[in-house]
Amino acid sequence: MRELVVTQNITLDGVIDAAEGWFDPSDGEGTDQSDLIEAVHEGMATTDALLFGRVTFEQMRGNWPLQTDDVTGVRDHLNQAHKYVVSRTMQDPAWERSTVLRGPLLEEVHKLKAEPGKGIVATGSMSLMPELVAGDVVDEYRLFVYPVVLGRGRRLFADATGVPRLRLAETRPFRAGVVLLRYRTTRDRGQPA
């Protein structure tokens, strides 16, 4: 069974809303981010599908396919991966290898997890996160914690009900001041996720 991995850039105070553009650790100073990019590559190697809400999907579609100087490999990964967008109104996703999911979110996620393939990443998509968390379908959280405190904005665990018990699987600091916290859910792995 495929795993669902929530990967988020997150502030120290739990905000995932990047509307203010806070997730550039270099502050324009040219900080070496090669170790952070390496971790992103490791994550991409374990996944072949992405799950988005409509707003995040449209933001990604409007940015990444247009990149011509991406040295990180993210553009190529996104273009090659299967992309699933949850929307009741979108007709044509207009991005190769994209599928619109119209059914109830948790049913759609269970179907995706039952298909063959590597892991599925859910990122951004603040409207989907509460339902994914409360629905206990997330197998792993990869949180790239940025040394920023905003004091406002949408949080990953805004409503902490339904959060399963988590086990720390990895902590990795990066030169730019970002820290990866990787948590696994501890539910009985023999049960459907």
Q: What integer pLDDT is reported at residue 32 of this predicted model? A: 84
Count of domains observed in the chain: 1
The CATH number given to whatever domain includes residue 164 is 3.40.430.10
In a domain, 27, yes or no: no
Let me know if residue 103 belongs to a domain.
yes
Provide the 10 A C-beta neighbour count for residue 41: 13
Q: What is the pLDDT along the chain (193 residues), one digit of tens a residue?
A: 999 999 999 999 999 987 777 777 655 567 788 899 999 999 999 999 999 999 999 999 998 988 898 888 899 999 999 999 999 999 999 999 999 999 999 999 999 999 999 999 999 888 899 899 989 999 999 999 999 898 888 888 877 666 778 999 999 999 989 999 999 998 654 444 4
- Is 190 domain-assigned? no
Domain extent for 115? 4-19+32-185
Q: Examine residue 76 and state whether it is found in any structural domain, yes or no.
A: yes
In a domain, 164, yes or no: yes
Domain annotation covers residue 193: no
> Whole-model pTM?
0.90
Residue 84: inside a domain:
yes
